[in-house]
Structure 1
Amino acid sequence: MTTTAHPGTNGRGTAGDPGGSREAGGREAGGRARLGGLVWLVWRQHRLVFGVLLAAAVAGVVWCVVLRGQMAGFIDSHHIAGCSQISLVPRCAHTQEAVTEFRDTYGSPLRLIEVGLVLLPALIGLFLGAPLIARELEAGTDKLVLTQSVGPLRWLAAKTGLPALVVLTATTGLSLAFSWLWQVAGDEVSGFYWYSTLGFHSLGPVPVAYSLLALAVGTLAGLLLRRTVLSMGVTLAAVVMAQAALSQLRRYLLPAETAEFPQNRPAQLPDDSWVVGQGNYTRSGARLPDAPCDPSPGYEACLRQHDVAGQYMEHHPASHHWPLAWIEAGIVLAVAAVLTVLAFRAMRRRHG
């Protein structure tokens, strides 16, 4: 699969390589290594998808940088850092109009970036992961490659290794840029909170992990199903199901904290706290998950009858964001690794 220069009688290359400009092993005469062999083949086959993904990543990073500068300038000039539309912070008492203007101006760009990062894993699975192997098997072109002294496992390693590197580079750059943007505009000011479905799936290692999972799912589906369109459908369904399932399990990945509010205190948590449960507690410490009394003229008497001492809230504070993100990303990457191992085992079983 590499280009080899065969020296003639004068020590120069053949007519196909005038001047002996290339040496064996895919190196140029100057000693500089060039892209060759299977890596070159994989790049050539998927260069359009690679190019679109990398270009989109660069454009997204530039957009986040520009947007961060604009948002930071607005927040500083209006002194609304940490303020929300309804805030108990004294210094935010007269900032409601400025916060509303900020959300009207920058809410749509923020939402668009979030949606793009949430959809990115599914798009990678659809247009890169699923066709990666399925298209080769469906067209029979894998037989041509495997007759060129290339083992099946080496071929599969090249077919998955370079795409994984491209996906890792592109998604990591986008995630870092958006996380940097979020430091300025996230949570209270924008009203887009870290614990929302879009917010959590677009920050930190989470979009990177799901993108690699989508690539692994698409590769295994293509290898087993050998049909491109069918593999794309299975990959899309699997990625969506994985995101939905972990969204339901997320609150349990880390123990929630409990805040208690006596009867004479208002039950109020910071806006960036993710409330996952609430109810009443009695003087003995017992918890009543459901409100035991309905608002009515006899409400106070009902509370005394149940010995209610106050309200409690189970919540994940903002400090739980990154631990939860890394735990979920670790689970997703572990599943992606297992699927990759299964793909190599399937390839070995198929080709002995």
Structure 2
Amino acid sequence: MTTTAHLGANGSGPAASDPDEAGEPGGRGPLRGLAWLVWRQHRLFFGLLLAAVVGGAVWCAVLRSRAGEFIASHHIEGCSMISLVPRCDGTQEAVTEFRGTYGQPLQLAEMGLMLLPVLIGVFLAAPLIAREMEAGTHKLVLSQSVGPLRWLAAKTAVPALVVLAATTVLSAVFAWMWAVVGDEVSGAYWYSTLDFAALGPVPVAYSLLALAVGVLAGLLLRRTVLTMGVTLSAMVALQGGLKLLRPYLMPVVSTEFGPKESAQLPDNAWGVGQGYHTRSGAHLPDTVCQSAGNYEGCLRSHDVVGQYMDSHPASHHWPLAWIESGIVLALTAVLTVIAFRVMRRRYG
């Protein structure tokens, strides 16, 4: 088999090797051939990702331990600033102190996991193929016995496995920490933008999507900086769009309140709508009498007998997370198939 030249890890300088003999001496072990070359080319980012996993795990472990001790010593588990739970009476000062001490470190962990897919897309996925196309080194691959589809498979499979492992560990460690410090006591509820994006399968799915977006954009645009910008824009748009879709992924639970009842949901319920309900059971928006001169008369004319609130209870968290992650992974699969079809159409 002839020799294929590849750029080094920093994009400057060739690193020539035979794909089937690339493991000499570095190819000894589980990685050989193309897989070893891909690992070598992107070992810097993989190393940074590993460091992020270790650092994130330590951060979450320390935060869990210290925050857990505070919660236990002040007896504020499940208490919020304004709570309906009788045992939480008189704990407002302790909850305020807890949030002032541990709120910011918790938000940093949440932001890290929410931004991780974007960082993976911009700094790993975007240059993955675009740099090869821009430098012209992909032409060398096409002249070898290593086919373009096999090359693309290796270029995407190794990063995908690393990203899958790293984000799974980070998400699991964060969930382990969040089980102690999340929800009412910290004010970091499961449905908030940061928490939902950091919990369970969501960051894992979005990280794989970012990889697929960057690879496809690189194949189509063939310019590294341009691909990075497009990947960033695409991931922001996709995350924002699915956030808007999130409340509608499952039917809401509608709770009706009588005329003398206080319309208030449990602390961990995600309220997504409210209004008035009539004697016949019809629901009216809360703006129906907003501009009426006689507000009470307007309500009587509509036969309003109370208020209603639509919400997703805490039990909807994991179903919503898995549904959204399923949508994201389906989109990832579609983009990956398109990338291979583009590669086949252009290079055979």
TM-score, length of structure 2 as denominator length: 0.90
Query: How far 1:306 moved relative to its partner?
Result: 2.5
Q: Does 1:189 align with 2:185?
A: yes
Match of 1:334 in 2: 330
Match of 2:267 in 1: 271
Q: Does 1:225 align with 2:246?
A: no
How far apart, in 2, do the equivalents of 1:303 and 1:247 lie? 34
Residue from 46, 69, 74 that aligns with 2:70: 74
Residue from 136, 153, 165 that aligns with 1:157: 153
Match of 1:110 in 2: 106
Match of 2:36 in 1: 40
Instruction: List per-residue Cα deviations over 1:200-239 (Å, max 9, x = no partner).
Output: 1111111111110000000000011111011111100110
Instruction: List per-residue Cα deviations over 1:113-170 (Å, max 9, x = no partner).
Output: 1111111111101110000001011111122233342111111010000000010011
Match of 1:305 in 2: 301
Match of 1:16 in 2: none
Q: Counterparts of 1:1-352 in structure 2 under 5 Å?
A: 33-293=29-289, 299-352=295-348
> Which structure's CA Rg is the greater one?
1
SS at 1:314's partner residue? Answer: strand
Answer yes or no: is the 8 Å Cα contact 1:26–1:33 preserved in 2.
no
Q: Label 1:293 to 1:347 Cα distance change in 2 as closer, same or farther (>3 A).
A: closer
Which consecutive residues of structure 2, in runs of 5 or more, have no partner in the other structure?
4-19
How far apart, in 1, do the equivalents of 2:288 and 2:152 lie? 61
SS at 1:194's partner residue? Answer: coil
Answer yes or no: is the 8 Å Cα contact 2:172–2:200 preserved in 1.
yes
Answer yes or no: is the 8 Å Cα contact 1:292–1:306 preserved in 2.
no
How far apart, in 2, do the equivalents of 1:350 and 1:328 lie? 33
Answer yes or no: is the 8 Å Cα contact 1:279–1:312 preserved in 2.
yes
Query: How far 1:89 moved relative to its partner?
Result: 1.1
How far apart, in 2, do the equivalents of 1:194 and 1:2 lie? 55
Instruction: List per-residue Cα deviations over 1:282-332 (Å, max 9, x = no partner).
Output: 111111113444599965444333211110001000110100000000000
Query: How far 1:66 moved relative to its partner?
Result: 1.5
State the superposition RMSD in angstroms. 2.2
Q: Label 1:299 to 1:226 Cα distance change in 2 as closer, same or farther (>3 A).
A: closer
Which consecutive residues of structure 1, in runs of 5 or more, have no partner in the other structure?
4-23
Q: How much identity, in percent, do the aligned residues show?
A: 71
User: What amino acid maps onto 2:106 in structure 1?
Assistant: L
Greater mean alpha carbon deviation, residues 194-203 or residues 163-172: 194-203
